[in-house]
């Protein structure tokens, strides 16, 4: 039997990885900075169970999402059924929404860092650009590791416990298990703990993050030929970073503007 994986459990994932208020506020601030207004239409190329799209749909935006996981597509369709959202199966590197173009796109849940290489990132950026209007915004989170900086402490952390259903709660702990600097890869260990009235038991899974420094990301951005970089900030602390110089190790939130 295959080992359990959090991404195969949409409702547990939705509770444990619900949009954090600080990240929501940062995303809205950077969208306003990039668009000079809040978006009236938003897509998410790796939407998971649709929790980020739900935030914007409730604010009145037209929304669309895609995901490679059939379980996540079904969960997102259910969650957004009342909003007329376009939710489709598909690889984020090749998205083509029927309801394009959009004011904004965003993938800030970490899925982008699980793509295997820079070429995949170039394809994602080009696909995102095709679904945006000229001047549209794209927000993304990348896993940054700068050369000669051994500190990976911001990749360790925990969430919860949080309610995941009537009488049930869950928590998740993240730890760096291995860092291969030459391959630009971090192997993460994720332990999910569940208690109370739930049909599921806790489990451990692992996944790989493809990392980049600021200089490496800027080379990808140049190769994509679709966006300009507007702003960067460290997710953990909200610290603003100089978009064009070395960043700090950890998850970095980037705001891009589609070229006309």
Residue 144 or 197, more confident: 144
Kindly tell me if the per-residue pLDDT of 232 is higher than 60. yes
Task: Report percent pLDDT > 90 for the chain.
Answer: 92
For residue 116, the 8-state DSSP code is S
Quick one: pLDDT at residue 201? 79
Confidence of residue 239 (pLDDT cuts 50, 70, 90): very high
- Please give the tally of structural domains in the chain: 2
> For residues 166 and 180, what is the distance between their CA atoms, to the nearest angstrom?
41
Answer yes or no: do 125 and 198 share one domain. no
Closest CA to 114 of 169, 52, 68, 166: 68
Quick one: pLDDT at residue 141? 98
Quick one: pLDDT at residue 198? 64
16: helix, strand or coil: helix
| Structure confidence by residue, pLDDT tens digits, 101-122 | 999 999 999 999 999 999 999 9
Mean pLDDT of 61-74: 97
Cα 58 to Cα 55, 73, 189, 203: the distances in Å are 5, 19, 34, 33
Mean pLDDT of 204-226: 97
> For residues 242 and 129, what is the distance between their CA atoms, to the nearest angstrom?
23
Within a domain: 51: yes
Kindly tell me if the per-residue pLDDT of 197 is higher than 70. no
Within a domain: 10: yes
Quick one: pLDDT at residue 148? 86
The answer to which of 11-20, 155-164, 190-199, 224-233 has the lowest mean pLDDT is: 190-199
Answer yes or no: do 162 and 78 share one domain. no
Kindly tell me if the per-residue pLDDT of 229 is higher than 60. yes
> For residues 3 and 206, what is the distance between their CA atoms, to the nearest angstrom?
10
Answer yes or no: do 48 and 118 share one domain. yes
Phi, psi dihedral angles at 212 (to 5 degrees) = -150, 150
Answer yes or no: do 44 and 122 share one domain. yes
Within a domain: 1: no
Answer yes or no: do 66 and 165 share one domain. no
Mean pLDDT of 57-75: 97
| Structure confidence by residue, pLDDT tens digits, 27-48 | 999 999 999 999 999 999 999 9
Q: What is the 3-state secondary structure (H, E, C) of 79-95?
A: HCHHHCCEEEECCHHHC
Answer yes or no: do 184 and 70 share one domain. no
Answer yes or no: do 229 and 115 share one domain. yes
> For residues 176 and 157, what is the distance between their CA atoms, to the nearest angstrom?
10
Segments of the chain assigned E as strands: 41-44, 62-67, 86-89, 102-107, 132-144, 157-165, 168-180, 185-196, 203-212, 227-234, 240-241, 250-258
> For residues 53 and 153, what is the distance between their CA atoms, to the nearest angstrom?
30
Task: Report percent pLDDT > 70 for the chain.
Answer: 97
Torsion of CA 115, 127, 46, 20, to 10 degrees: 100
Answer yes or no: do 162 and 45 share one domain. no
Within a domain: 66: yes
Answer yes or no: do 101 and 157 share one domain. no
Contact (Cβ atoms closer than 8 angstroms) between residue 210 and residue 115? yes
Quick one: pLDDT at residue 1? 43
Cα 15 to Cα 1, 3, 54, 71, 229: the distances in Å are 25, 21, 13, 15, 32
Within a domain: 21: yes
Kindly tell me if the per-residue pLDDT of 259 is higher than 50. yes
Average pLDDT score over the chain: 95
Within a domain: 189: yes
Task: Give DSSP secondary structure letters for 122-173.
Answer: HHHHHHHHHTEEEEEEEEEEEEE--TT----GGG-EEEEEEEEETTEEEEEE
Give the containing element (helix H, strand E) for 220.
Answer: helix 214-224
Within a domain: 35: yes
Closest CA to 223 of 92, 115, 125: 125
Answer yes or no: do 31 and 101 share one domain. yes
Answer yes or no: do 193 and 216 share one domain. no
Domain of 105: which CATH number?
3.40.50.150
Residue 40: which domain range? 6-147+211-258
Within a domain: 196: yes
| Structure confidence by residue, pLDDT tens digits, 124-147 | 999 999 999 999 999 999 999 999
Answer yes or no: do 93 and 192 share one domain. no
Quick one: pLDDT at residue 178? 97
Kindly tell me if the per-residue pLDDT of 199 is higher than 80. no
Residue ending a domain, among 195, 210, 225, is 210
Per the DSSP assignment, residues forming a β-bridge with 195 are 169
């Amino acid at each position: 039997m295959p080992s359990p994986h959090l991404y195969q459990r949409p409702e547990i994932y939705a509770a444990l990885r619900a949009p954090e208020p600080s990240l929501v506020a940062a995303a809205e601030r950077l969208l306003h900075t990039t668009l000079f207004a809040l978006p009236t239409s938003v897509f998410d190329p790796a939407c998971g169970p649709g929790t980020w799209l739900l935030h914007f749909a409730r604010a009145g935006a037209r929304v669309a999402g895609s995901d490679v996981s059939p379980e996540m597509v079904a969960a997102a369709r259910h969650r957004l059924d009342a909003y007329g959202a376009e939710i489709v199966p598909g690889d984020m590197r090749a998205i083509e929404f029927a309801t394009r173009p959009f004011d904004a796109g965003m993938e800030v849940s970490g899925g982008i860092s699980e793509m295997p290489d820079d070429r995949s990132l170039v394809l994602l950026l080009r696909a995102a650009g095709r679904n945006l209007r000229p001047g549209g915004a794209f927000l993304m989170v990348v896993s940054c590791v700068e050369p000669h900086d051994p500190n990976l402490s911001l990749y360790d952390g925990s969430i919860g416990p949080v309610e995941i259903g009537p009488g049930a709660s869950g928590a998740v702990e993240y730890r760096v298990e291995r860092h291969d600097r030459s391959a630009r890869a971090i192997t993460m260990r994720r332990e999910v703990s569940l208690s109370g009235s739930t049909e599921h038991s806790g489990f451990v899974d692992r996944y790989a993050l493809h990392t980049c420094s600021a200089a490496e990301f800027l080379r990808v951005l140049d190769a994509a030929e679709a966006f300009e970089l507007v702003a960067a900030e460290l997710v953990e602390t909200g610290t603003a970073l100089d978009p064009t110089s070395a960043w700090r190790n950890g998850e970095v939130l980037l705001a891009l503007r589609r070229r006309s």
